[in-house]
Amino acid sequence: MTTVEVLLQNCQLVDVTTRTIIQKDIGIQSGYITFNATDAKKYVDLEGAFVAPGLIDAHMHVESTMLPPSGFCNLAIPHGTTTVVLDPHEIANVLGIAGIKHIMKDAENLPVDCFFAASSCVPASPLETSGATLLADDLEPLFDDDRVIALAEMMNFPGVIHDDAEVHKKIQMGLRFGKKVDGHCPGLRGKDLLKYVATGISSDHESTTAEEALEKLDAGLQIYIREGSAARNLEALLPIITPENAHQICFCTDDRHPADLKNEGHIDNIIRKSTALGLDPILAICIATLHAAKHYGLCQHGSIETGGLANLIVFKDLHNLQINQTWHHGKLVAQNGQMITPCETGVDWTPTKKSVFLPSTITKNSFAINVRSEPIRVIGLIPSQLYTEELHLNSTDSDILKMAVIERHHNTGNIGLGFVKGFNFRDGAIASTVGHDAHNIAVVGDNDADMLLAAQTLSPQGGQCVISKGKMLAYLPLPIAGLMSDEPADTVIVQQQAVLDAIGKLGCPLEDPFMPLSFLPLSVIPKLKLSDLGLIDVDQFKVVPLEV
């Protein structure tokens, strides 16, 4: 007779290895699964509910939740998340290895299995000024931690293709440790794609069309279908999935805001959307669990098998996934949308605060742009995408706002200036210290005085703000590296909603204009971006003049 600690009875077990549903009781002993139980200390009758493996986010930046891992867990666990692969390159771009270690420390002993990818591109490219520069020798000690399971997304794909020695040293280091090397190659096709893959890079989460994703699948990449707060690629990429190639597909969010996590969900949200769009729900669950675990070699995750970790979700409707229970290592950690015991941070974040410094000489004249000839290059927003357009317009055309990116780490005095179309607000300015990936201060506005006040509001604590006619309308403080808050998640959500309401009152039609703003400085996603060094043509990978 075998007695276990917990026996889940009357289960409809979603077997992701056979893609079937079976009637089977599930025993839990010391946090692991067993099917040999004949007796139990505690019986739990699930009354015919479905039980599936806990959900896995194959790639995300926890900093984008504006919360450290402990705060993120309180939002994600009730939605069935039990495992995440985190790339902490946001805080790494501000604070270097020290920032990474703070995130890893906070992630210890949480009721979510936090694995890490060592941030490969700090900075993302030479076309920006970040707070730190991490070389292969700096990253190597991170691999001594068993939680580091990959080299993080190699965003500097031009460096890969053009044989940058340091880029290739990082890739070879990851492979030498027997780890996966994650990719990031938006729009890369043909011979350049094949060269990128030949280095040993094994995944990509930047596809935006089915054609692009299929070519990358054929080249051997694991495709992560991303559905986050900034980029939403699920609907475009869902048609590529077949029962035969689904093992090469994972789900990820990349960047997810706290209100979206709380109100819409996490990976469970992607499953619901994909099922509503016609994907078989069992296949969707496989993609959200087993396929990510297999890709990273997490043999005790992603399925419900003897000897595997008892990371489980319980739900009643296969076609409309709503999580009733989340189990982590055999313990019930969330039920009916609530944490059993909320997580708290055990980290002293003081060394990460006051990281935002403005040039000492900055005035409103620092935002003046002398347009020598028209038309000019204007950054064009594309809804729900990280890509932008290169528009050739006059500076006085409708919905043209001024943009500035101010270096905030080393007092260089660098200020990149340009124009952007798509925000469509008047009589004010917005600013954010969340500016991927160097996280300099990004400001958009229609007058220099408000742009200056917006930038000044964010020093030295960081955050996001809305200014109009010389007054601060709303402010979301993000004191941890200018990226995250140590306040409770609900407080952050209220503060974030306040800044969104404020910019909405200035006429901005975007649901969350701070999200596209945060990616406008990112010099590794086409087409036109702005860094502290100037206007960037990503396809040419160089600074270009404002004038056409």
Enter the tokens of residue 26. 């599930």
Domain boundaries, the chain: 55-284, 353-543
193: three-class secondary structure by DSSP: helix
Reported pTM: 0.94
Is 3.20.20.140 the CATH classification of the domain at 55-284?
Answer: yes
Whole-number pLDDT of residue 231: 84
Dist. CA 507–CA 445, nearest whole Å: 12
Which whole-number Å values give the CA distances from 130 to 154, 417, 436, 531, in the listed order?
Answer: 17, 17, 10, 10
* Alpha-carbon torsion (224, 225, 226, 231), positive or negative: positive
129: three-class secondary structure by DSSP: coil
Enter the tokens of residue 477. 């403080």
Conformational region of residue 248, where left means phi above 0, alpha means psi within -120 to 50, and beta covers everything else: alpha
Whole-number pLDDT of residue 383: 85
- Strands 222-226 and 249-252 turn out to be parallel
Dist. CA 88–CA 98, nearest whole Å: 11
Report the residue count for the chain: 548
Identify residue 353 by its one-letter amino acid code.
K
Whole-number pLDDT of residue 124: 87
Phi, psi of 81, deg, nearest 5: -75, 125
Whole-number pLDDT of residue 525: 87
Enter the tokens of residue 484. 């995250």
Instruction: Please give the chain's pLDDT, 548 residues, in tens.
Output: 689 999 999 999 999 999 999 999 999 999 999 998 889 999 999 999 999 999 999 999 999 999 999 999 999 999 999 999 999 999 999 999 999 999 999 999 999 999 999 999 999 889 999 999 999 999 999 999 999 999 999 998 989 999 999 999 999 999 999 999 999 999 999 999 999 999 999 999 999 999 999 999 999 999 999 999 888 999 999 999 999 999 999 999 999 999 999 999 999 999 999 999 999 999 999 999 999 999 999 999 999 999 999 999 999 999 999 999 999 999 999 999 999 999 999 899 999 999 999 999 999 999 999 999 999 999 999 987 888 999 999 998 999 999 999 999 999 999 999 999 999 999 999 999 999 999 999 999 999 999 999 999 999 999 999 999 999 999 999 999 999 999 999 999 999 999 999 999 999 999 899 989 999 999 988 999 999 999 999 999 899 999 99
3-state secondary structure 366-416: HHCCCCCCCCEEEEEECCCCCCEEEEEECCCCCCEEEEEEECCCCCCCCEE
336: three-class secondary structure by DSSP: coil
Q: Respond yes or no on whether the N-terminal peptide bond of residue 123 is cis (omega within 30° of 0).
A: yes
Phi, psi of 534, deg, nearest 5: 135, -170
Dist. CA 268–CA 266, nearest whole Å: 5
Dist. CA 386–CA 229, nearest whole Å: 11
Dist. CA 458–CA 479, nearest whole Å: 10
Q: What b/e sequence results for 91-103 when a residue is b if at least 16 CB atoms lie within 10 Å of its CB, and e otherwise?
A: bbbbbbbebbbbb
Enter the tokens of residue 392. 């050739």
